[in-house]
Amino acid sequence: MTLLLVGMNHKTAPVAIREKIAKEPRALEFFLNKIKKELSLTEIFGLSTCNRFEIVAVTQDASSPLNALKTFFAAETLQSLPEIEKFIYVHENTEAYRHLLRVASSLDSMVLGENQILGQFRDAYQSALDAETTGPILNRLLQKTLQFAKNVHSETCLGAGSVSVGSVAVELAEKIFDTLQNKKILLMGAGEIAELVLGALKARGVQNISITNRTFENATGLAKKFEANTKCFEDWPRWMEENDVVITSLAISSALIQEEHIKTIMGQRKNRPLFMIDLGLPRNISSQVYSTNNVYVYNIDDLKEVVDKTLSERLAVAEQVEALIEKETSQFWHSVLGTQVTITLLKQKCDQICAQELEKTFGRLKNLKEDEKESIRKGMDAVVSKILHDPILTLKNESLEAQGSLASSWLKKLFRLED
């Protein structure tokens, strides 16, 4: 038995290639069934997300399905076979299992520690179950993978903290305000990052958004996108009094918002907390404002610093998870390899006994013709195969369980098999 994994992801293939092979669940089911039939694979599983497309197969012999699988990848992406080899990776047995664990635990994701992949993995497995493309080996393997990834996500801090400027802004806002739904947000200016931050806040249920810009047309365009109100830029201190979160992203030569403005504004606000995000460069908010009571100012560097800190913390946790994966895969290897050796030894012993007994029988029955001898040999082989079929299948199924190695060692004792 060989576990074979062929795939491509955001690190190995550009989006132009990945988008050609990416499949909706229904199309993926059809695709997997087609490959399974054409290549006579025992079991097959596929994972298709925006960042990866992977096929995991259980085969009796790795070499022939591998080339055929590569051909499928080439055909789907409209590439030649040598071309597609640049974009795909191939893993076998332990390496394949290690890769699956890394993928499901999000160590291989574009954003380290994101938990979306776990849901995608679970859905893909459910689709494979519905399509009945998996069997005992992959079912056990994928269930173990999902359980492992679930433990990683729930028991480690791999997914803790925010890893984008927008989510950091939301996280900070939620540290200050208990809910964002009843809060008012003001965007002063425009810009890509400002839109990202505004989008992240809106996704958290913010309803009341106002936009002001020195160029009124720009404010109107953005207001349509975010279903926001537009305000006259000249009255900006008044709008700041009314809003709880202010995002500034103005292209100006010096800081617009000074300490004296904020003092007046905070007086009018009766000191209710004000969260300000300064995305302008040069900064739109004077550094003296930072120390004002109940005013929380973060600039783009502060937000990026939080992102970097979270990422470095996640990297540290990822190293621990890699060690856990190493342990898990070596246990798997030991278990599967041990079973494989037992099966080979058992088959060898049975073949040896058959050969010896046939030799004795043919010695006694000297009148047998060669074709008759061949028929008897085939009959004996069929009897042995049928007798061994169920124990070998059970042993293979049990190979990933804890009792698999126990069954294997008992079989060795019973049949006196020696490595």
Partner 1 sequence: MQTFSFLKNPWALPHLIFIFTGMIIFLISFAEGIIYLVSEYRIKNKRIGGWFDKLPSLETIERNHNKLLNIGFVFFTLGIITGGGWSKSATGYYVSNNFQQIGSFVLWIFFAIFLRLRVSRGWVGHRGILLSCIGFVAVIILLTWAQQH
**How far is residue 254's CA from residue 283's CA, in Å, rounded to a whole number?**
7
- Given the complex with partner 1, which of 190 and 306 has the nearer CB atom? 306
What's the min distance (Å) between Cβ of 281 and partner 1?
Answer: 18
Q: How far is CA 396 from CA 145, 335, 404, in A?
A: 18, 10, 8
Least distance to partner 1, CB of residue 167, Å: 12
- By beta-carbon proximity to partner 1, the closer residue of 248 and 310 is 310
Helix (H, G, I), strand (E, B) or coil at 91: strand
Would residue 157 show up in a list of annotated catalytic residues for this protein? no
Beta strands in 184-262 (DSSP E): 184-189, 208-212, 229-231, 245-249
Q: Which is nearer to partner 1, 270 or 369 (CB)?
A: 270
Contact 110, 51 (CB under 8 A): yes
Report the residue number, 7 or 280, with the smaller CB distance to partner 1: 280
Shortest CB 304 distance to partner 1, Å: 11
Instruction: Provide CB contacts within 8 A for 318, sequence distance 6+.
Output: 107, 112, 113, 158
Taking each helix axis from N to C end, the angle separating 370-398 and 136-155, rounded to the nearest 10 degrees, works out to: 20
Q: Which is nearer to partner 1, 83 or 174 (CB)?
A: 174
Distance CA 171, CA 296 (A): 13
CB of 252 to partner 1, least distance (A): 24
Cα–Cα dist 416/409, whole Å: 10
Query: Which entry of 50, 157, 232, 350 is annotated as an active-site residue?
Result: 50
Nearer to partner 1, 1 or 111 (CB): 111
Sheet of 52-59: strands edge to edge? 43-48, 52-59, 2-9, 89-92
Please, what is the angle between helix 136-155 and helix 300-364, to 10°? 150
3-state class of 189 per DSSP? strand
Q: Report the nearest approach of partner 1 to the CB of residue 312 (Å).
A: 11
Compute the least distance from the CB of residue 176 to partner 1, in Å. Answer: 5
Rounded to whole angstroms, how far apart are CA atoms 293 and 46?
55
Task: Provide the sign of the torsion angle of the four alpha carbons 39, 388, 134, 341, taken in this order.
Answer: negative
**Minimum CB distance to partner 1, residue 226 (Å):** 24
Residues near partner 1 (CB under 8 A): 160-161, 168, 171-172, 174-178, 266-267, 269-273, 290, 293-294, 296, 298, 302, 305-306, 309-310, 313
Longest dimension (CA), the chain: 117
Residue 278 phi, psi dihedral angles, 5° rounding: -100, 105
CB of 196 to partner 1, least distance (A): 19
Structure-token pair, residue 260? 């004296």
The tally of CA atoms less than 13 A away on the side-chain side of residue 193 is 18
User: Nearer Cβ to partner 1, position 18 or 183?
Assistant: 183
Q: Is the Cβ of residue 225 or residue 309 nearer to partner 1 in the bound state?
A: 309
62 token code pair: 């790795």
- So which residues are the catalytic ones? 50
